[in-house]
Chains A and B, each alone.
Chain A
């Protein structure tokens, strides 16, 4: 019962380095999401992919790029890491909304990223 798997679990980067966070789900979900969690800020949506082949910006997209590689995988890339991007990153997946059928999002256990 893997659900949503995120790699790596921890990472330390230097300012200016690049990094790709990986996410894979085995629930055959259409929609996938990337969030960041900061103290006192809750979870904020960075990017999401409503279905394979589409991606859209969320609340805080600046400094990030995403790739929906296939139905299972959705990666988040930091091209030039900045200390402000120090955070815990969560990937989630869900069924696409269908009228009368709201399905909850399922989350991975997060990637703790520190940028020095």
Chain B
């Protein structure tokens, strides 16, 4: 039972354009969400997060939007750069628990 879903395995975007990565979740108890970025042969690195009390969080070129009623979040990257090419994982946690539940990942390729 996949509680966090990333339905697009891959996405290709031109440099300078917006990249939008999507994530859906089924567990309404999740109250904190994170995005991780992963390059080949490296571990995931934390990118940005959002609490369920907010609907938007921004950090430079990266913005995460949360729609609690739809149980949906998205990561926007503007403008996209070739160095953004990586696999992006959405993750969620609930309450005081420290463990994360991850989605299956979306491979983003930013083309010149």
Interface set of A (CB-CB < 8 Å, partner B)? 4, 31, 33, 35, 40-45, 48, 50, 58-59, 90, 92, 94, 96-97, 99, 102, 104-110
A110 and B98 form a contact (CB under 8 A): no
Residue from B32, B43, B96 with most neighbouring chain A CB atoms (10 Å): B43
The reply to whether B34 and A41 form a contact with Cβ atoms under 8 Å apart is no
Q: Judging by beta carbons under 8 Å apart, are B45 and A107 in contact?
A: yes
The complex places the Cα of A58 from the Cα of B101 at a distance, in Å, of 10
Asked whether, in the complex, the Cβ of A107 is within 8 Å of the Cβ of B104, the reply is: no
Closest-by-CB residue of A relative to B50 is A102
Q: Among the listed B41, B44, B98, B102, which residue makes an inter-chain contact with A96, where contact means beta carbons less than 8 Å apart? A: B98
User: Is B42 at the interface (CB under 8 A from chain A)?
Assistant: yes
Q: Number of contacts between A and B (CB, 8 Å)?
A: 56
Q: Which residue of chain B is the closest to A41 with respect to CB atoms?
A: B104
Q: Does B93 interact with chain A (Cβ within 8 Å)?
A: yes
Task: Give 28 pairs: A residue, B residue, CB < 8 Å, sorted on A.
Answer: A4-B43, A33-B99, A35-B102, A41-B104, A42-B4, A42-B89, A42-B103, A42-B104, A42-B105, A43-B89, A50-B98, A90-B44, A92-B43, A94-B98, A97-B97, A99-B96, A102-B49, A102-B51, A102-B93, A105-B46, A106-B46, A107-B36, A107-B43, A107-B45, A108-B43, A109-B43, A110-B42, A110-B43
